[in-house]
Amino acid sequence: MSRMTTVKRYFAALALVFLAAAALPATAEAADFRIVGSLLDTADLSESAGGGIGVAFPFGTGNWAADFAIYYFENFENHFESGNPNACTNPGCPNKVELSSFPIDLGLRYRQNPDDSGFVGGFGLSFFVVDPVHAEGDDTEGAYAMLGYETGGGWVFEFLYRDADITINNIELVGIPGVIPNDFQLDMSGYQINVGYSW
């Protein structure tokens, strides 16, 4: 079983836990759930469409809540074109690296009006699980900040900025056996847009 297949199963398992928790009356009463479609555009990689789910646990009746979210993105690409600081010049080097990512966020969420329409914001730490195609990658930590808006009808719109760097190594050569052991640093910092529904 590939590493990404395992990651996908972890994501699916967490998603089922979220949905099961949302179906429990006691949990649904104490927490705010959301499901979103997402677009993430990073500094060194092409943009990727994905999605995620999140849950916020309010601190009493106030505006702040502990927030947890997970996302899944596929088909990020980094092309080794001329001028790229990560350019791979070894014989047999592929012209690009592809990878998938599974960000996990833990932080604080602020709702201007917990019971109606209003602005939302938040910040926290992230853990990026990454899986390159025909290469290896190191999972990494990062941070995020978010600003958005929730309607009284449950729709949620969020704009996030992420800060994270990843390391890719052991890239498989094309046409000849072997790998490139060099470390290639990729900047995963960038902007993420979420559109979804909360309840």
pLDDT mean over 134-154: 90
Q: How many helices (H) and strands (E) does the chain have?
A: 2, 12
What pLDDT is recorded for position 16? Answer: 65
Least confident of 42-51, 80-89, 149-158: 80-89
What pLDDT is recorded for position 130? Answer: 87
What pLDDT is recorded for position 145? Answer: 98
What pLDDT is recorded for position 109? Answer: 95
Report the b/e string of 177-192 with b at 16+ CB within 10 A: eeebeeebebbbbbeb
Rounded to an integer, what is the distance from CA 82 to the centroid of its chain? 29
At residue 10 the predicted structure's pLDDT band, cuts being 50, 70 and 90, is low
What pLDDT is recorded for position 51? Answer: 94
Alpha helices in 50-171 (DSSP H): none
What pLDDT is recorded for position 163? Answer: 96
**What residue ranges do the domains of the chain occupy?**
3-80+95-165+185-198
Fold of 3-80+95-165+185-198: Porin (2.40.160)
Mean pLDDT of the residues in the chain: 82
What pLDDT is recorded for position 136? Answer: 84
Instruction: Report the predicted TM-score, pTM, of the whole model to 2 decimal places.
Output: 0.81
Share of the chain above pLDDT 70, in %: 77
* Amino acid identity, position 3: R
At residue 82 the predicted structure's pLDDT band, cuts being 50, 70 and 90, is very low
pLDDT mean over 113-128: 91
